[in-house]
Amino acid sequence: MKEPMKTDTRARIGIIGAGIMAKGMAHNFLKKGHAVSIWNRTVAHVTDLVETGAQSVASPRAAVEAADLIIECVTDDAVSREMWTNPETGILAGAQKGDGKIYAASSTLSLAWTDELVGLCQGAGIDFLDMPLTGSRAGAEGGTLRLLVGGDARVLERARPALEAISAKIYHFGRSGAGMRFKLVLNALTGIHSDAAAQAAALAQKAGLDLGAVQFALVDGAMGPASQVTIALLNNRDAPDTQVNFATKWLEKDLRYAQAMAREYRADFSVLDTVQAEYAKALEQGLGDQDQTKVIKLYR
């Protein structure tokens, strides 16, 4: 059995991507004394990380060569596929059978690509975890992400000491691909709650209720429908459009991946179809780069 990464050693971390989540992870790995190599297509986006000790590398393959734990965290299937499979610069091009390294996909991906990627890693003889994240900007920047993991429990235990630098809790859902399946269920519910809260807020206003009073009562009374997502939407209703924790375009993408998952399992999830259509409408109205809670604008 391979030895776990020790908490008192300086783990070598490779990060592919430099979005909100990836940069947050990189900063927290650095704060905990780990060595970080990071690749991003736009090098200027990692300047602040380089200034605090990270090494900017020339390709995903170079990140693999410089690290023992490699985390891919990009936007969607198409970008992820390029990061892993490019024959010259991709992650798999730098991987070697039985190299003892741990490879993780932390993007939110479709099941089709996730399962294909699991097969590719198994065929390459490398240790792989699907490890999507939740916790939004605050969790990424504060080192309090929740990691949603699928894969061999022994591989996760080897990675756990290093992963504690970026997370408040690690959930293990079982076999490879299980973490991604949970993440799509989670984000489907996030979209449904946000859209329902937006419509309910519009109804409350039209009925002459003060939204501040509505929000206070929902929170103060611990009423069943007052989920954290509902509260976030009400809290952010007047926030600047530039304040983005989770962009609408990425949630809409995740809703489409969740729809495909529902179709694959022949599950009745009709409410998801309705909500995805609303988020698609939000994109059409130019809300794609704004926070997903700004779906409330559709109903004002």
Q: Which two tokens stand for residue 290?
A: 């704004």
pLDDT at residue number 130: 98
CA angle 96, 124, 122 (to 5 degrees): 135
pLDDT at residue number 222: 66
Pairwise CA distance, residues 109 & 69, whole Å:
20
pLDDT at residue number 224: 67
Q: Which residues of the chain have pLDDT under 70?
A: 1-9, 221-222, 224
Of residues 36, 33, 42, the one with CA closest to residue 14:
36
Could you tell me which residues are beta bridge partners of residue 56?
A: 38
Of residues 147, 151, 120, the one with CA closest to residue 135:
147
Of residues 13, 104, 5, 108, the one with CA closest to residue 57:
13
Residues 6 or more apart whose CB falls under 8 angstroms from that of 274 comprise none
* Residue that is written with structure tokens 């299980």 in the block: 178
pLDDT at residue number 7: 40
- Domains of the chain (ranges; CATH) run 12-175 (3.40.50.720), 181-299 (1.10.1040.10)
Pairwise CA distance, residues 43 & 31, whole Å:
21
The Cα-based distances of 156 to 74, 88, 172, 176 in angstroms read: 21, 28, 8, 11
Of residues 161, 213, 141, 114, the one with CA closest to residue 13:
161
User: Rounded to the nearest 5°, which phi and psi values hold at 165?
Assistant: -70, -20
